[in-house]
Amino acid sequence: MESQTNKVEGMSCNHCKANVVTNLEKLDFITSATVNLDEKSVTITGENIDIKKVKEIIAALGYKPV
């Protein structure tokens, strides 16, 4: 199991948080996703994480992966 934390710009509320978590956790290789609004980051845990796909999902939701 691996874990990665990535900065995400544009998240400002619990709706943003829920939107990101729900959509990332739909990916087969992600076990869990946790958003920290204060740090503007998302921490993902899973196996063989495809960071390119993660960033594509975040961007498609209207946020900016850094």
Q: 21-59, pLDDT tens digit by residue? A: 999 999 999 999 999 999 999 999 999 999 999 999 999
pLDDT category of residue 16 using cuts at 50, 70 and 90: very high
pLDDT given for residue 62 in this prediction? 97
- The answer to whether 66 touches 7, Cβ cutoff 8 Å, is yes
Task: Report the CATH number that the domain containing residue 52 is assigned in CATH.
Answer: 3.30.70.100
pLDDT band at 11 (very low <50, low <70, confident <90, very high): very high
Q: What is the pTM of this model?
A: 0.92
Domain that residue 41 falls in: 2-65
Task: Please give the tally of structural domains in the chain.
Answer: 1
